[in-house]
Structure 1
Amino acid sequence: MFVEERILTLFKRNLHHTLTYWSVFFSFGLCIAFLGPTILDLRCQTQSTLSQITWVFFAQQFCLLIGSSIAGVFKKTLFRALSALFVSALIISVIFAIIPLCHNVLLLAIAMAVSGMAMGIIDTIANIQLVTIYQKDSAVFLQALHFFIGFGALVSPLIADPFLSEKGCTVGNVTENVTEIMHHLRFSLRNIPMNMHNMTEDHELHVEEEESSVSYAFWIMAFINLPVPIAVLYLMYRERLIPCCPSGTPQLLDKDELAMENQANEGPDTEPKDHEVGGHGDIFSCCQNDNLRGLPVSFFMIHILGGMVLFMTDGIVGAYAGFVYTYAVTPPMALSHKTAGYLASIFWAAITAGRLLSIPLSYRFQPVRLLMVNLAGVIVTVLLLLIFYTSSVFLFVGTCLCGLFLSSVFPCMLAYTEDILDYQGCATSVLVTSAGMGEMVMQVLVGSIIQSEGSYSFLLCGMIIGCIGFVLFFGLLFFERLHRNYLTGTSKKSAMVEEPATEVRPEHKEETESS
């Protein structure tokens, strides 16, 4: 069979949990992608400048990073984990519903900060929960999990597109030049026509006012997302985790039972579900763990280097999705705004397709091999984009290839590092936090470089970041070998200590009997 019977059995046993975690990641993707195409309508709604409205992006990303960092505190029991997922998914629906009511940019930034916090909690908890359930078989399920981010990121712009205004609104004195406007439109996922002939010499932008109906798009997304918290709540009911409704059929195996099934393929058991997820906590508790004393340097370097690789690769994802439009509409490429508007959508579509394709590949190949191919593919693709920097056709081809290669780096790295550490470390929390930090920092860094050095530096930054990530990955391979040698040596020493003890006892017994 294409998939082992053991994995199919394990998947069927945890089908309800797995589908629920996948659904909350759909909420994550739905929330992360809607700001791009709706940014001008929200700007009109809040009567703010482009420089002010872009603080909304920072508020969301910054709080997403905080949410990812602190989410581990909810992992002590299954009740806390599912409760946090339920509240976070419900918050996303509420935020979608109240965004049309935010007529001040500060209120909008606060709303997006709250949604970012919820997204960060979802990101960490869903990843850790799947790793805890499937452990060494988690790679294929993590690929499917991250596919739903891309799927949600595709659905969100499609919902918003029919409701976006084409003419915009009247704004006052805007003292931003054309380059700055391009910089602030870097997140656009669709074509946003701008009549640059309406720019006066005093940099006053006057656009015909048009009533926006984008509020309907947000209400539709809130309604579409509403089944997700309901699904989490139903899972809590099935697991008897709702105090007022103590009925239902428990489904999830605890950690010890799951390990026994993975090793001996034993039958199901129905022990209490409020088990503690050992080894996985928030970053702060990981750093204060007393069990870290006496561990080798390789243990810490695996966490650091794995996080740094994702810092670079997720930084490329954020920077490429954010600035490929700016790069395409400025010289030397100088594409039309309508044509360049498709690039970010193609990039997200390639990431979604790549994650779908990686599901069977993760079953057939080890994560380390997929990581090697993906990281090398990113470097080669960006190098070809640098060589053919005047070819608009290859820009589209390269965007698609770049999305395909970047799509599965995060789930593969997560499965790889957790496997090295035997699912006892804090790798998931570290990697999720590092990836979020990289996406936030690289967007700011690359954006400032493009503004000062020109659009061509966009590809140079991508090339440099990719090469640094590849070098860090080889460092990770080196310390992975050291760590496995350390574990082998430790197990041999333990065997040598136990073996004499088992041999002395029979001899001592014979001497006693003869005497």
Structure 2
Amino acid sequence: MDEKKETVEGSYGSSIDMAEVKKRKGWVVALVASITLARISNGLFLSITGPTLLFLAENTDSSVSQVSSMFSGRSVGMLTGAICFGAVSNRFPDYKPLFTLGIGLGIHGIVMILTPFMTSLAGLVTITMVGGLMFGYINSGLQAVYLKLWGPEKSRPYLQSVHFGFSIGALLAPIIATPFLVKADASQEAGTSCPNEEDILFTTPLTLLNATEATSPPVTEQINPVSWSFIIIGVYTIFASLLLCGLALCKIEEKVASHNIERKESRPEEPIKDLWMFFIPLCFFYFCLVSSEMLYQSYIFSVSLCSELEFSAEQASLLTSVFWTGFAIGRGTGIITSKYLKPATIIILDLIGTTSIITLMCIWGEQSAILTWIVTFIHGLSIATMYSAGVSWTSEVTNMAGTYIFVFSIGGTVGGFSMLPAGGVLFDKEPFSVMYLILGCCVFNIIFFILMNVIWKWRIRRGIGYQPEQNQQDQFKGNSNAGFEIEESKYTEF
């Protein structure tokens, strides 16, 4: 009886010391906390350029349309970074990435600190591309860590926490920037005029912004207050990088994996010739998913301001915060719901939610301000869990923890690279037409998800790749310890 108090039954009948279990839980908490902090910095990096776009344009003596080229550079860097991680994982099967992720995060922090001091457009684009490179590498690497440690099923809540951290950072960035924007006298209605008016935000060089301040003496020897928002984020990011590096030096990956009584990812990677048919609709799925998310959060401020809704700048700003609030709540609750709902179920619910609510927006949104508020919150809430649920669902189909982890970034990066400019073209013609583009993305999301399911079922019928979970569990039924020895030998692998 005393032994039972000190031990706990593990998988397939193994006994594990309770002290070791508690110690492992402590390491797991430390790992999850550090990765979440790292992802918050990623969200800050991606979101801070929105409210500070006018500052960056003025700093580089560029128009907003010119300075927006940094988004293209960032997208190229993100895709390159994701591919680099996949290539390194393929080249070194026993590669433990946490230390290099910490170093990458440190470079990310340095990029943030240097960004407000870039006075040339080429320099700003270059440094943003470096930041995007680090972002792509870190984003893929952190997800791969969870997939390798806990496999496609047990990693679901951990993957949700990765994306929850990002949403927190995206929500905090405007809050951090606002007091510095106010201090820099950014409350002069810059960027709130619409395409048919004197549109400073989309077409006018920002040097014209200060034409009305010609009588004021220029301040050239002091740091622009807006710079401090970048510096604060950069310092925080460096702190998060030191935490990751410290845990890596403590060999936290081995400590978590060595006592992991749940199944880790151990399936061999399938050749690309067996997967390319599945990866094509997968890339298009993420293309539509990321496009609908980025288009809405990027343009809802301007659409509500310039369409027949005629929101004030303050209301439009609050509307953007409502989207990020719904987004954060969705990803936070996803940590819990992912334990009880299958990834495919979450995706289906999200697709129904986003498509139906955007349809209502397209039909009645321009005539109803109340509906716009509701749609904004529900769209953020629904779309929040789709990305991570897609990663979990795809990981059930095949091993995505190594070489192929970059596939998720391909569609998302191309979507951000191409659809934001397309949305700008539509906005200049008719502001509310951006909503129709978002609805098209939602509809095609459904089509590509159905296509992925068809290909998956076809693979199962052909006996290719992943087999249903139940078939894998059948071989371990009964009192036999068959299979435990195999798992035991893998405890120290990662």
- Corresponding position of 1:89: 105
Q: CA deviation at 1:312?
A: 0.4
- Corresponding position of 2:133: 117
- Corresponding position of 2:185: 166
- Corresponding position of 2:244: 232
Q: CA deviation at 1:223?
A: 1.9
RMSD, matched Cα: 3.4
- Structure 1 residues 44, 292: CA separation in 2 closer, same or farther (over 3 Å shift)? closer
Taking the aligned partners of 2:38 and 2:315, their CA distance within structure 1 comes to: 33
Deviation track 1:259-286 (CA, whole Å, cap 9, x = no partner) reads xx325x9xxxxxxxxxx99757xxxxxx
Q: CA deviation at 1:106?
A: 2.0
- Corresponding position of 2:433: 457
Alignment partner for residue 70 of structure 2, among 56, 73, 83? 56
Q: CA deviation at 1:28?
A: 0.9
Taking the aligned partners of 1:352 and 1:6, their CA distance within structure 2 comes to: 35
Q: Is the 8 A contact 1:318 1:440 kept in 2?
A: no
- Corresponding position of 2:159: 142
Moved more, 337-346 or 145-154: 337-346
**What SS does the aligned partner of 1:414 have?**
helix
Q: Give, as a single letter, the amino acid of the residue that structure 1 aligns with 2:314.
A: K
- Corresponding position of 1:45: 59
Taking the aligned partners of 2:313 and 2:119, their CA distance within structure 1 comes to: 28
- Corresponding position of 1:478: 454
- Structure 1 residues 79, 178: CA separation in 2 closer, same or farther (over 3 Å shift)? farther
- Structure 1 residues 305, 23: CA separation in 2 closer, same or farther (over 3 Å shift)? same
The equivalences for 1:17-416 within 5 A come to 17-75=31-89, 76=92, 81-135=97-151, 136-164=153-181, 165-167=184-186, 178=197, 181-183=200-202, 206-208=211-213, 212-239=224-251, 250-253=254-257, 261-262=261-262, 291-292=271-272, 295=274, 299-388=275-364, 389-416=366-393
Q: Is the 8 A contact 1:77 1:277 kept in 2?
A: no
Q: Is the 8 A contact 1:64 1:118 kept in 2?
A: yes
- Structure 1 residues 464, 329: CA separation in 2 closer, same or farther (over 3 Å shift)? same
**Percent identity over paired residues:** 19
**What SS does the aligned partner of 1:47 have?**
coil
Q: Give, as a single letter, the amino acid of the residue that structure 1 aligns with 2:117.
A: L
**What SS does the aligned partner of 1:225 have?**
helix
Moved more, 375-384 or 216-225: 216-225
Q: Is the 8 A contact 2:397 2:465 kept in 1?
A: no
1:432 aligns with 2:409: yes
- Structure 1 residues 424, 351: CA separation in 2 closer, same or farther (over 3 Å shift)? closer
Q: Give, as a single letter, the amino acid of the residue that structure 2 aligns with 1:56.
A: M
Taking the aligned partners of 2:203 and 2:262, their CA distance within structure 1 comes to: 50
Taking the aligned partners of 2:84 and 2:352, their CA distance within structure 1 comes to: 33
- Structure 1 residues 20, 277: CA separation in 2 closer, same or farther (over 3 Å shift)? farther
Deviation track 1:235-263 (CA, whole Å, cap 9, x = no partner) reads 221019xxxxxxxx951427xx85xx325
Q: Is the 8 A contact 1:167 1:207 kept in 2?
A: no
- Point out which structure has higher relative CO (alpha carbons under 8 A, 6+ apart): 2
**What SS does the aligned partner of 1:262 have?**
coil
Q: CA deviation at 1:69?
A: 2.3
- Structure 1 residues 491, 333: CA separation in 2 closer, same or farther (over 3 Å shift)? closer
Q: Is the 8 A contact 2:64 2:202 kept in 1?
A: no
- Structure 1 residues 25, 183: CA separation in 2 closer, same or farther (over 3 Å shift)? same
**What SS does the aligned partner of 1:236 have?**
helix
- Corresponding position of 1:500: none
Q: CA deviation at 1:13?
A: 5.7
Taking the aligned partners of 1:434 and 1:156, their CA distance within structure 2 comes to: 25
- Corresponding position of 2:418: 441
Gaps of 5+ in 2: 1-8, 12-20, 472-494
Taking the aligned partners of 1:220 and 1:462, their CA distance within structure 2 comes to: 34
**What SS does the aligned partner of 1:226 have?**
helix
Deviation track 1:357-404 (CA, whole Å, cap 9, x = no partner) reads 111110011110110010111110101111222111211110110001
Moved more, 215-224 or 70-79: 70-79
Q: CA deviation at 1:88?
A: 1.4
TM-score by length of 1: 0.76
Taking the aligned partners of 1:162 and 1:334, their CA distance within structure 2 comes to: 25
Q: Give, as a single letter, the amino acid of the residue that structure 2 aligns with 1:262.
A: E
Q: CA deviation at 1:234?
A: 0.6
Deviation track 1:31-68 (CA, whole Å, cap 9, x = no partner) reads 11101111122222222222222222222222112222
Q: CA deviation at 1:351?
A: 1.0
Q: Give, as a single letter, the amino acid of the residue that structure 2 aligns with 1:438.
A: G
- Structure 1 residues 131, 449: CA separation in 2 closer, same or farther (over 3 Å shift)? same
**What SS does the aligned partner of 2:338 have?**
helix
Taking the aligned partners of 2:466 and 2:97, their CA distance within structure 1 comes to: 34
TM-score by length of 2: 0.79
Number of residue pairs aligned between Structure 1 and Structure 2? 433
Moved more, 407-416 or 152-161: 152-161
Taking the aligned partners of 2:334 and 2:44, their CA distance within structure 1 comes to: 21
- Corresponding position of 1:467: 443
Q: Give, as a single letter, the amino acid of the residue that structure 2 aligns with 1:45.
A: N
Q: CA deviation at 1:328?
A: 0.9
- Structure 1 residues 40, 491: CA separation in 2 closer, same or farther (over 3 Å shift)? closer
Q: Is the 8 A contact 1:182 1:326 kept in 2?
A: no
Q: Is the 8 A contact 1:64 1:116 kept in 2?
A: yes
**What SS does the aligned partner of 1:363 have?**
coil
Compare CA radii of gyration and give the structure with the larger one: 1
Q: Is the 8 A contact 2:300 2:319 kept in 1?
A: yes
- Corresponding position of 1:188: none
